[in-house]
């Protein structure tokens, strides 16, 4: 039995005679590693299955003539805008980037079928093994990709048809801006930031897990998380606000900004997402990276409500980032109460195991915001 041996969370076990595999749904974290290793295709996944991904790749190739596919782990990749810029610098502008919860869930079948579609090159970016959000995903994925590389060489494909790299997003400190307040060092859940002589903060990149919590407490914006810099998230909010406002003008629905933890709600990739009317999604590496200034900016930009989706308590991939976010949002709600906006900010704790839960919560929140808007209009 392969799947019980690769499950990082001991959610699968072999029982009985004849042997039958059992799934403990309470332990399962929907990483998809078992799905990718099953030789009989006996395991199904509700997120990013082979057919859905192939359909997306086929549609985009037909529409844009794409010749290269970039597959990334959510923990290793930066924002899509930055990824596109980096690829352009490398002379690879004609590419499609798909971000997955873990590349360890990618079966060889997907890679081989993608090449059969006419894709000439596949670049795969995994998390470094130490920082894999699913413990074994990067290790399992690397071994499988090396086997596929060997197979492609034997089949006569060009060298470099399938390339594999490993990286993890890290926080960095602008020493010229740092004022030595120590907020980042105190906040870091991984003890990766130390205060050195003369009050200078220093990040141990080997200890940094890229949660982004440090950046949210820096008063001078000296701490930046790769791909999720303050300015990058602000740009996304402004871009989506103009879109949401245009949609709102066409109907009665309010415009909602959703700040979503990448691990609490998988199906939010802009290439494959479910749609909730007039809701714009900004994916973050952890709810702990939610900056209160971005929430205020969303209201200033015209959003009627801000909804934050975090991992369920006890399931945070980055050391209780969801709980630190809860404390920060609770304080912000008290501040917003002074201008009667506290009911327009909501936070919930979700799991990818509860399919459709986030959509339903956003729908109810949207209805509440709609009622508040009508009530305010009546009072005026």
**Which whole number is the average pLDDT over 129-134?**
91
Using the predicted structure, report yes or no on whether residue 270 has a pLDDT greater than 50: no
Highest mean pLDDT among 22-36, 197-211, 333-347: 333-347
Alpha-carbon distance of 333 to 156, in angstroms, equals 61
pLDDT tens per residue across span 212-252: 999 999 999 999 998 889 999 999 899 888 877 776 776 66
* Average pLDDT over the chain, rounded to an integer: 86
At residue 90 the predicted structure's pLDDT band, cuts being 50, 70 and 90, is very low
Q: Which helix (H) or strand (E) holds 214?
A: helix 213-216
Residues in the chain: 380
At residue 272 the predicted structure's pLDDT band, cuts being 50, 70 and 90, is very low
Alpha-carbon distance of 292 to 298, in angstroms, equals 10
Using the predicted structure, report yes or no on whether residue 194 has a pLDDT greater than 50: yes
Using the predicted structure, report yes or no on whether residue 349 has a pLDDT greater than 90: yes
Alpha-carbon distance of 64 to 147, in angstroms, equals 30
Token digits for 374?
């009508």
**Which whole number is the average pLDDT over 30-36?**
90
Domains and CATH numbers, the chain: 46-166 (3.40.50), 171-225 (3.30.70.20), 230-379 (3.40.50)
pLDDT tens per residue across span 286-301: 999 999 999 999 999 9
Residue 251 pLDDT: 67
Token digits for 105?
């869930």
Token digits for 96?
């499609």
Residue 78 pLDDT: 54
Q: Which position has the token pair 């690829």?
A: 87
The residue among 365 and 253 whose pLDDT is bigger is 365
Backbone torsions φ then ψ of 248, nearest 5 degrees: -65, -35
Residue 83 pLDDT: 47
**Strands ordered across the beta sheet of 305-311:** 279-284, 256-261, 305-311, 345-350
Alpha-carbon distance of 12 to 74, in angstroms, equals 24
Range of weakest confidence among 86-95, 243-252, 319-328: 86-95
* CB-based contact 180:199 (threshold 8 Å): yes
At residue 182 the predicted structure's pLDDT band, cuts being 50, 70 and 90, is very high
Residue 267 pLDDT: 64
């Amino acid at each position: 039995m392969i799947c019980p041996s690769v499950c990082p969370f001991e959610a699968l076990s072999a029982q009985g005679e004849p042997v039958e595999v059992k799934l403990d749904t309470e332990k399962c974290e929907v990483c998809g590693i078992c799905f990718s290793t099953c030789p009989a295709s006996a395991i199904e996944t509700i997120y990013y299955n082979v057919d859905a991904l192939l359909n997306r790749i086929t549609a985009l190739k037909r529409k844009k003539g794409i010749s290269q596919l970039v597959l990334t782990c959510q923990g290793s990749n930066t924002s899509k805008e930055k990824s596109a810029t980096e690829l352009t610098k490398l002379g690879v502008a004609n590419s499609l980037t798909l971000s997955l919860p873990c590349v360890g869930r990618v079966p060889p079948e997907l890679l081989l079928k993608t090449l059969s579609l006419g894709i000439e090159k596949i670049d795969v970016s995994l998390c470094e093994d130490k920082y894999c959000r699913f413990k074994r995903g990067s290790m399992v994925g690397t071994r499988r990709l090396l086997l596929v590389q060997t197979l492609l060489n034997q089949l006569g494909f060009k060298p470099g048809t399938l390339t594999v790299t490993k990286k993890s997003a890290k926080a960095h400190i602008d020493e010229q801006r740092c004022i030595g307040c120590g907020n980042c060092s105190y906040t870091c859940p991984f003890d990766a930031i130390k205060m050195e002589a003369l009050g200078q903060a220093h990040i141990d990149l080997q200890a940094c897990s890229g949660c982004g919590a440090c950046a949210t407490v820096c008063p001078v914006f000296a701490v930046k998380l790769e791909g999720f810099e303050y300015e990058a998230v602000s740009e996304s909010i402004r871009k989506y606000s103009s879109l949401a406002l245009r949609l709102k003008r066409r109907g009665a629905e309010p415009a909602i900004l959703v700040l979503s933890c990448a691990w609490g709600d998988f199906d939010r990739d802009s290439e494959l997402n479910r749609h909730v009317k007039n809701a714009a999604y900004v994916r973050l590496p952890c709810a702990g990276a939610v900056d209160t200034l971005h929430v205020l900016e969303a209201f200033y930009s015209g959003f009627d409500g801000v909804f934050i989706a975090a991992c369920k308590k006890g399931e945070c991939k980055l050391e209780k980032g969801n709980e630190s976010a809860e404390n920060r949002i609770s304080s912000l709600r008290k501040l917003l109460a002074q201008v009667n906006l506290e009911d327009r900010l909501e936070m919930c704790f979700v799991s990818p195991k509860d399919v459709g839960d986030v959509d339903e919560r956003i729908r109810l929140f949207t209805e509440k915001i709609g009622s508040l808007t009508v009530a305010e209009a009546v009072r005026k």
